Structure 1
Amino acid sequence: MSRLSNDLSFVRALCQKLRVPELKYLQDFGTSTDKTLDLEGVRQHFVLEVGQYEVSLLDHLKKHYEGAQKSGVNNIAFILDRCFDVWLRKNCFPHEIANILSVWRFSLFTIIFLEQKKVFQQEGVDQKKILASVIGLLELIATDCIGWSAVPERSKHLLLEQLNDVSTQVIANLHSNLELIEDAELKWKDFQDKQRSKFTKVTQRLIESESQLCWKRFSFWCAQSYIDSVFARKKLPESLQCFLDSYWLNSVAVHLVCEDGLHVRLDAEIDKLTQSLMKAFCQQGKALFQLADSLVDDLKKVLDRSNIAYDESIFNALEESMVSLLKQEFCDSFVPYTSVPTDITLNEQFSHFDISRILYKDEVGDSSVPQNDSVEKLNLEESDWFVMGTDQASSPSMILLNRFDYAGLFLFGNYLGMKTGIYTRQELDHLLNQGEIKPYKQGESFSVVFNACVKGLMRVADSQQKARIAAAEKAKEEAERLLEEKRLAEEEAEKRAQEIAERTKELLKRREDKKKAQLEVSALAKVQKLTIGAWVSLTIGDQAERYKLVVKIAASSKFIFVDKLGIKKKEYKEVDLVDLVVTNKMEFLSDGAEFEDSLQRVVSRLRMAK
């Protein structure tokens, strides 16, 4: 048998220990009699009912399996509901993707449920690998879905349809077949490879075209700014103004070079010729005599080298202006230099650029251009994702495709590689500060959330178990205390009962003794009254016999009885007669008074006879 992985063992232990207050629990697996959970039935109903972001395994189980569930079933559903809800909330997926990924909780439910049911006991099944494969595929899909947006409408179904197909294959895998999961992963990777290939081709063409356009516009603006800086507040002949506007502006732009993607360098010869034009036509004096012979030829060579077509008449006009200057014939007719009208968007895009940063000759540019703004603080890099709105789940996303640092421009595109916008540094800083654009918040991976949730719930379960143990100990102590109190009460009651019984017995004894004493006194009185000739009935055994008292000796308290024939039968002490009377064994038939009367009459007759 394959050994259970630590992860699943940890989850199994949690499922056995955790108790959620609002849930009803039966006994654990194998010990209860509730109906077996039908995974296929659960899956079909669960998938069909998924239409909301907050889909819950627990609610589904309650709806289709009424009553209490085994602790394993309830707790697996509770744990996975919690993990997925936290993970989806942290990652802020678009609702369309979140709804699909949310259903994956059933796949994990199947794996853990079957492990709890001890299905994975045959050789060759690696539960840890199965669980890791499903979570790994889920995290891969989550990463690949970053930047996806529901717009444009015509393209959104490509990813959703593929995601639905892969999800259906994984969720329908009720026996956790590793090959099916691996096949689903291969399908997803193949789809993503094709999408990345398309994205790369589209973005390469976009970056190339935007780079050319950006450099063309920027170099033209730099050339214009450079010429403006050289001839600012200068007066010059109209021929030079025309040459600068029509030819030299383009020539300067052609000879600007971007170094390291950040610095702009102007060809030293162009800078020298520009300065020569200014000195020759605007400062006059000796410079004109020094430059007049070669200036026009040098200008023509530069234009030819730059493939800029020109009309000879412009140079004829320049030569005529130089001759006039040498003769000093029309200096007063010079006009102030005017800049060539340019597209207003050029100033909007590049007005922040400091023309003094153009490098000349052997100057070395500063490798860093510190700016205390949001762009600098965020340290934006190509392939960084951003959200165009406040709600990441519903707002379109865009990726930074390229930075034109020399011009301070940032090119953005969508997940398809299509251009979404190009922003100046100032515009981007403003949008970031206002929150209209914000960095894409990529949440934690599912494995991190899963482990954190399981560990957190385990701490809760441990606390619950300790509380249950403490409660059981307390209940045991309380029961023992109550039993002890009951025992003591029973002993006290028994003691009191014994005391009452003893007192009652004593009272009864006293009463009987008193009664006996009374009987003895009465009996003694009767015995003492016996006289000679008294008849009594004595019960010996079952026989009652009649006896006559014939002798009564007062000194020795002796009484002698005879039967009716005068034969001596009984002799008793006074105390014996009292006992016989008290015990009702002797009954007085006569007390002997008749004998005394007869005797007295006999004595009286005898006396009278004398």
Structure 2
Amino acid sequence: MSQNRPKSHQVASRKAVAEKIDDVLAGIRVPDLPYPAGKLSPETTNDWQALLFSCWTEQRNERVTHVLRSVHLDWSVRQINAAYVADRIMDVFLKTSGLHTALALRIARLRFYLAWRMNLEGNLAFSDLLLNWLDSFQEWRGWSDSGGRSSKALLDQLDALVVAVSASFNSGASSAVDAFCSQWQEDSARRNAQTGKLRQRLQETERGAARQRRSDQTSRALIGRALQGRKLPQPVLHFIFDHWQRLLKQAVWDSGINGETCRHGSKLLEWLVWIGDPALSDNDRDRLYHVGEQIGDRLVDVWSRVFEHPLTPNALAGIGAVMMSRLRGETPELTDALPDDHSFPWNPAWLSFEAPPHKEFKPYEEQWFVEGEGAAEQRRFFCAFLEDTAEILWTNGTGVKLGLQPWQAFCQSRDAGSIRPLPALTPFGEVLEETVHVLAVACEKQRKQREKAAEAAKARADALRKENQAAELKRKQQEAERLALLERQRQELEDQRLADEQAEQEQLYTQKTLLAQKQVTAINLGGWILVNAERPESEATRLKLAVRTNASRKLIFVDRLGLNRREFLEDELVLGLVEERIRVLGGAAEFDDTLSRVVGRIRVGRH
């Protein structure tokens, strides 16, 4: 199990991206989420810690946003966005992490914890300890929910995570989770060292076992090929199965099937079969005698090449007895060389066995493969290729042997698609980086759209204001024009009225003058006039016409005593009558009536 530590520049990059979370929490708006109608005050914002804690303890696989929708309470914009960001990150992690579905689901439940912490401290929710711990799950890419001891060990550790996160919810701080992550990393380092040693020992053991199997199967194939369809004396069969099979097996182990010792051993096996089967050797007595002389020495010689201890005389006693019987021309009792009950399995393919070239299997070594789909998938590690038997050594994530598989069977399963390479993992840090980057881009786009909309609204408001101002100015201008027109009309009417009054006054003055002239002309000697005093406090003066001179048009008036003589020219007297400073007594009423009728006629004529 290799440990994948994030590089320093990756950590810096992720930290820079994580800082964008604050902008996303404050600025992004997602359709169909239950945002508040207006800005909530801290007093009216509902506390969601107990709700999220409950979801965590129940280990729900539900989205945080779904939980918030279901309770019908008012949540702040930051709470809604924190829930959405946590859901988005964990949803992407579920799809792209490459971990087993059951394991990814357990990790994705941290969405409740992350939403709670992001609402409180923004990007600080993703501490270096937490990110390194989540990235370290790449070590468990080969984990499968097999029910075995190593599988349960990881589930037990994740049960401890439930306790740690619950402690953080209770305390209101992340210290319990940080301590859990730190302890996990320490345990991981020790586990990786143990796994490496276990794999090395397992490979050494399995390579030795594979070589042993090849030696055994090859020796069986040599014996099976030689004995197939033959009937031989029992002593010969005892020697072959009790002694010579062991020699052939060791010879193949030492130098392979093409080694000199193995070739000699195989040749001597054929001689033993030829000697023991009368159907093969009865027709050549001379050769039988010649072989019989040499067979014992040859067997001992080859045996001494392979083993340090000598071949015992008792082992060759049966062969010697059969040989003497055959040389005397006797036919020994024969039995089937290979039993019918298949108690001696053998495969001739081992005689022509060749391991595939390195270029065929080398790309698959130390790679992960998967069988099955979804929660039922099983993952296995191509730990080593055993060239002696062309078998694959499969292990799990902790270096425990899962089994062996022939190379041809693997190729068939691979071509059929029942076993396939495990896709590359996506570390949590990359998921965080890519997801936050996408959300930050969307948030920035929304911000620009809002700015553009605000500018457009401002432009519309300015245009409307200018339009209203223009309309108001036009209205004022029209009102001013209307008022000016009314003023002109009023002035014209006033001018007309004044002109009419002026004409009326002039006409009235003329008529009054004519009437006054008539009245002056009608004054006879002794006729009385009343002259108003020049001062208001003085009384009017009554005067009597004493003299009228037609030549000078002068009239002389005196008072009752003949004193206070006053002279008036006719025009002066007419003007006095017109201006009503002088009245002709006796004719005043007639003058007023006549004047009233004249005025009435003038006004009627004007209208």
TM-score (norm 1): 0.67
- Can you list the C-alpha shifts for 1:193-225, whole angstroms capped at 9, x where unaligned? 776788789878876776565444432322343
Report Cα offsets for 1:400-437 as digits up to 9, x if no partner.
45432221222334457665443212222222333333
Offset at residue 80 of structure 1 (A): 1.8
Which of 378, 381, 385 is the aligned partner of 2:365? Answer: 381
Q: Aligned in 2, Cα 1:73/1:571: closer, same or farther, shift over 3 Å? A: farther
Q: Deviations over 1:433-455 (max 9, x none)?
A: 33333333453111111111111
Structure 1 counterpart of 2:427, from 445, 449, 460:
445
Q: Is 2:259 the partner of 1:267? A: yes
Q: Give the SS at the match of 1:387.
A: strand
- Contact 1:389/1:438, CA 8 A, preserved across alignment: no
Question: Over aligned residues, Cα RMSD in angstroms?
Answer: 5.3
Q: Does 1:172 align with 2:167?
A: yes
Q: Distance in 1 between matches of 2:353 and 2:481?
A: 117
What's the counterpart of residue 470 of structure 1? 452
Instruction: Write 1 or 2 for the structure with the bigger share of helix.
Output: 2
Q: How does 1:134-533 map to 2 (within 5 A)?
A: 134-140=130-136, 142-152=137-147, 157-170=152-165, 172-173=167-168, 176=173, 180-181=176-177, 183-189=179-185, 214-226=210-222, 247-257=243-253, 264-275=256-267, 278=270, 281=274, 293-303=293-303, 305-306=306-307, 311-316=315-320, 319-320=323-324, 323=327, 347=347, 355-356=351-352, 368=358, 370=360, 376=361, 379-382=363-366, 384-391=367-374, 393-414=375-396, 420-441=402-423, 443-530=425-512, 531-532=515-516, 533=519
- 1:435-488 CA distance string (max 9 Å, x none): 333333453111111111111111111111111111111111111111111111
> Of 56, 66, 84, which residue of structure 1 is paired with 2:73?
66
Q: 1:323 to 1:368 in 2, by over 3 A?
A: farther
- The higher-RCO structure (CA 8 Å, 6+ apart) is 2
Partner amino acid, structure 1, of 2:79: V
Equivalent position of 1:24 in the other structure: 35
Q: Which has the larger radius of gyration?
A: 2
Q: Give the deviation of 1:131 after TM superposition.
A: 0.3
Take 1:346 and 1:476, find their aligned partners in 2: how far apart are those partners? 92
Output the amino acid matched with 1:297. Answer: D
Matched, 1:82 2:88: yes
Distance in 1 (alpha carbons) for counterparts of 2:174 and 2:21: 20
> In structure 2, what residue type is equivalent to 1:164?
D
Aligned-partner Cα distance in 1 for 2:85–2:573: 103
Work out whether residues 228 and 339 of structure 1, in 8 Å CA contact, stay in contact via their aligned partners in 2.
Answer: no
Give the 3 Å change call, closer, same or farther, for CA 313–232 of structure 1 in structure 2: closer
Q: Distance in 2 between matches of 1:594 and 1:245?
A: 179
Partner amino acid, structure 2, of 1:381: E
Deviation at 1:342, TM superposition (A): 5.7
Q: Residue 20 of structure 1 aligns to which amino acid in structure 2?
A: V
Q: Distance in 1 between matches of 2:156 and 2:230?
A: 69
User: How far apart in 1 are the matches of 2:594 and 2:48?
Assistant: 118
Any conservation in 2 of the 1:233–1:336 contact (CA below 8 Å)? no
Are the aligned partners of 2:220 and 2:345 in contact in 1 as well (CA < 8 Å)? no
Alignment pair present for 1:53 and 2:61 = yes
Shift of 1:336: 12
Partners of 2:321 and 2:490 in 1: CA distance? 160
Work out whether residues 235 and 334 of structure 1, in 8 Å CA contact, stay in contact via their aligned partners in 2: no
- Report the Cα distance in structure 1 between the residues aligned to 2:245 and 2:38, rounded to whole angstroms: 88
| 2:239/2:316 contact within 8 Å kept | no
Is 1:15 matched with 2:25?
yes
**Residue pair 1:53, 1:95 contacting (<8 A) in 2 also:** no
Q: Percent identity?
A: 18
The answer as to whether partners of 1:222 and 1:253 remain within 8 angstroms in 2 is yes
The change in CA–CA distance for 1:402 and 1:340 in structure 2 (over 3 A counts) is: farther
Taking the aligned partners of 2:392 and 2:480, their CA distance within structure 1 comes to: 104
**Cα separation, partners in 2 of 1:233 and 1:98, compared to 1, 3 Å:** closer
Q: For residue 187 of structure 1, report the CA deviation from its aligned partner.
A: 3.7
1:164 CA drift (Å):
2.0
AA partner of residue 274 (structure 1): S
Give the alignment's TM-score, normalised by structure 2.
0.67
Q: CA distance change for structure 1 residues 343 and 459 in 2, over 3 Å: closer, same or farther?
A: farther
